[in-house]
Amino acid sequence: MTKIAVAKGDGIGPEIMSAVLKIFDAAKLPLDYEFVEMGKWVFDKGYSNGMTPQAQQTIETLGVLFKGPMETPKGKGVKSVNVTARKTWNTYANKRVFQTLKGVDTVFSKAGIPVDITVVRENIEDTYGGIEHMLTHDVALSRRFITRPKDYPELKSDDIIIDDLCMKLVTRPDLFDVIVLTNLQGDIVSDLCAGLVGGLGFAPSANIGDHICIFEAVHGTAPDIAGKNIANPTALLLSGISMLRHMGLMESAAIIENALLYTLEQGIHTGDFGDRSKPSLNTTAYAEAIINNFGKIPERGAKPMLADMAATPTLFRLEKNSMMESSETENEKIVGVDFFIESNEQPVVIANKCLRHAGVKFKLINLSNRGTQVWPTGSVYTNLVNQYNVRFESIDDMPLNQQDILGLYISLSGNFKICSSELLNMWGDKRAYSLAQGQ
């Protein structure tokens, strides 16, 4: 028997988890469950990350977490427990499979356009770092960071810009097999794709890391129908099936998924979808219908009965954090600095003050406001906010050190409140920073 951690979730979480585990039990899976404390009620007990230390330890020991939907208390400044779990355990790849299901009608299924798309979403970075500051009382900053991805030259792929992708997904979703996206874009596109196949009730989600993996339903907790035994467990079941495959239980996964597809093809449904002329089943009865169809093969999309496989072992312990660092052979040098200052003065007034601080090592390159250059050239038709970027570079790209930057910082702070700073770096002869708009 393999033991996994299970968190039932909030709202409808416990009842859909119970339905899915009933299906798993009927399939006689070689699994033991250790239930852990995560979710809204754990925030309410005073754990500011939404999980108990015991839950964290159990999950880190077992390596697999199966979880229901969870709610994050609003207006308390706490962060989503779902996101905390994904980030803390470095489940860097969010894998979601979206498939047309017979019995789940959509605009696209009616038009005869089949959808079978796997979205892989980077799960840690981007604006979801959640590093946010008010620079002035008018200007909020979110730091969007992206690290160098690993190369997979053996994989063939095409590039597409996100806006074009979304346009094509609503016209020809059948053109796409696998889409790999950064975090924010992946968030948007995966819900868009969920819409193509009938909504979040049919969209499984797996968060894959090197040590810990999380399989979860990503729909809401639906507190309005919680406890009524009418919620749709399909997304959680599909997530569970993907967990079984991850653990190498290929045969049981195929039996359960085929039974689900067969059940949907029969027109069996919970109250939230399907043919309204047929009565809907409650959560328990829907699960039982699936169990009764174990061994049945659906007309469309039947999964092959593969032999069980050895699972990637997750039962190792890390003693320290892993550092991901690429090699860089070019020489690094500091060649300037951007200061973000608070001011409501005109560009030329600020520039004249800044010029006095440049000294013998720096030259004042430009001033920009919201990314648009406003000095030395610009337009009076560029509206301003009270936050300027003042860029200084070294004369002739001479390498600078931190003391040079600090000297300028000290000098300039006599005139301005400096809200933020960024070094300007070069690697070899490549500038590692962007120009301002209009520069």
Q: Is the Cβ of residue 35 or residue 427 nearer to a second copy in the bound state? A: 427
Burial state string for 103-137 with b = 16 or more CB within 10 A and e = fewer than 16:
bbebebbeeebebebebbbbbbbbebeeeeeebbe
Coil, strand or helix at 283 = helix
- Interacting positions 329-368 with a second copy (CB under 8 A): 330, 332, 338, 344, 346-347, 368
- Interacting positions 6-35 with a second copy (CB under 8 A): none
Q: What residues have CB less than 8 Å from 241, skipping those under 6 apart?
A: 204, 253, 256, 257, 260
Q: How far is the CB of 235 from a second copy (least distance, A)?
A: 13
Alpha-carbon torsion (245, 247, 250, 252), positive or negative: negative
Q: How far is the CB of 165 from a second copy (least distance, A)?
A: 9
Q: How far is the CB of 308 from a second copy (least distance, A)?
A: 27
**Candidate list 326, 360, 396, 429; residue touching a second copy; CB under 8 A:** 326
Among the listed ranges 236-244, 258-266, 305-313, 324-332, the one in contact with a second copy (CB under 8 A) is: 324-332
* DSSP bridge partners of 4: 33
**Candidate list 84, 99, 100, 242; residue touching a second copy; CB under 8 A:** 84
Number of residues that bind a second copy (CB under 8 A): 125
**Candidate list 45, 54, 73, 131; residue touching a second copy; CB under 8 A:** 131
Structure tokens at 339: 């200061």
Q: Is the Cβ of residue 234 or residue 252 nearer to a second copy in the bound state? A: 234
Q: How far is the CB of 402 from a second copy (least distance, A)?
A: 4
Is 56 a binding residue for a second copy by CB under 8 A? The answer is yes
Q: Which residue has the tokens 């039932």?
A: 8
Contact track, a second copy, 292-321, x by CB under 8 A: --------------------------xxxx
**Candidate list 67, 87, 95, 246; residue touching a second copy; CB under 8 A:** 87
Is 202 a binding residue for a second copy by CB under 8 A? The answer is no
User: Cβ of 388: how many Cβ atoms within 10 Å?
Assistant: 26
Are the beta carbons of 239 and 206 closer than 8 angstroms? yes
Q: How far is the CB of 374 from a second copy (least distance, A)?
A: 7
Q: What residues have CB less than 8 Å from 340, skipping those under 6 apart?
A: 135, 387, 388, 389, 390, 418, 419, 420, 421, 422
Q: Is the Cβ of residue 71 or residue 257 nearer to a second copy in the bound state? A: 71
- Interacting positions 368-387 with a second copy (CB under 8 A): 368, 370-372, 374, 378-387
Coil, strand or helix at 252 = helix
Is 389 a binding residue for a second copy by CB under 8 A? The answer is yes
Is 139 a binding residue for a second copy by CB under 8 A? The answer is yes
Query: Cα–Cα distances in Å, from 97 out to 20, 161, 214?
Result: 18, 21, 15
Q: How far is the CB of 438 from a second copy (least distance, A)?
A: 5
Are the beta carbons of 368 and 388 closer than 8 angstroms? yes
- Interacting positions 217-276 with a second copy (CB under 8 A): none
- Interacting positions 164-183 with a second copy (CB under 8 A): 164, 166-171
Q: How far is the CB of 28 from a second copy (least distance, A)?
A: 31
Are the beta carbons of 93 and 123 closer than 8 angstroms? yes
Are the beta carbons of 430 and 333 closer than 8 angstroms? no
**Candidate list 72, 100, 190, 205; residue touching a second copy; CB under 8 A:** 190
Are the beta carbons of 98 and 193 closer than 8 angstroms? yes
The whole-angstrom separation of Cα 241 and Cα 258 is 11
Is 52 a binding residue for a second copy by CB under 8 A? The answer is no
Among the listed ranges 64-72, 297-305, 325-333, 351-359, the one in contact with a second copy (CB under 8 A) is: 325-333
Cβ burial of 355 (10 Å; 0-12, 13-18, 19+) is exposed
